[in-house]
A = this chain, B = another copy of it.
Amino acid sequence: MNIKDAGARAGLPAKTIRYYEEIGLVTPPRDTNGYRAFREADVHKLAFLGRARALGFTIEDCRTLLSLWEDDSRASADVKALAREHLAEIDAKIAALQDMRATLSDLVDRCAGDHRPDCPILQSIAGDQVPT
């Protein structure tokens, strides 16, 4: 199977697949014409990567997850630990974004949003004390 079809089946663009090969995540064999020849196992692996990435795992996490997946003697504890760490990072990001959101949303609500220049948003960013 050529790269585009493999990508279609795995849900990944060809560019991404080439990149994954470059960094050693997949190693499809080559046809005599130099084209990558994807086997079922390669496509499966690519789909695995796509789903892991969709869950927000980094490429290095994906590399680890792949090796765990392929290791029949893995301990599920190792997978769980990795997932937990990632979950903690997600939580941290959500918290940071929610902080931003709260501040910004408050400022937006206080801004008249008309033709006049007075703007609590700018005042706040400028470090001025904005009266409540």
Contact = CB atoms under 8 A, between A and B. Distances in A.
A83 B120 CA distance: 11
Contact of A121 (B83, B114, B122): B83
Report which residue of A54, A72, A73, A117 has the largest number of chain B beta carbons within 10 angstroms of its beta carbon. Answer: A117
A84 interface: yes
Given A86-B104, A108-B84, A125 B52 contact: yes
A74 B125 CA distance: 16
Given A55-B104, A65-B125, A125-B55, A119 B48 contact: no
Q: Specify how many copies of this chain sit in the oligomer.
A: 2
23 contacts: A51-B125, A55-B100, A65-B125, A68-B119, A69-B122, A69-B125, A69-B126, A75-B114, A75-B115, A76-B113, A76-B114, A76-B115, A76-B116, A77-B113, A79-B111, A79-B122, A81-B113, A83-B104, A83-B107, A86-B104, A87-B105, A93-B93, A94-B98
Given A76-B121, A87-B101, 10 more contacts: A55-B104, A56-B104, A75-B115, A76-B122, A80-B112, A80-B121, A83-B121, A87-B105, A91-B101, A94-B101
Interface of A: 44, 47-48, 51-52, 54-56, 65, 68-69, 71-77, 79-81, 83-84, 86-87, 90-91, 93-94, 97-98, 100-101, 103-105, 107-108, 111-119, 121-122, 124-127
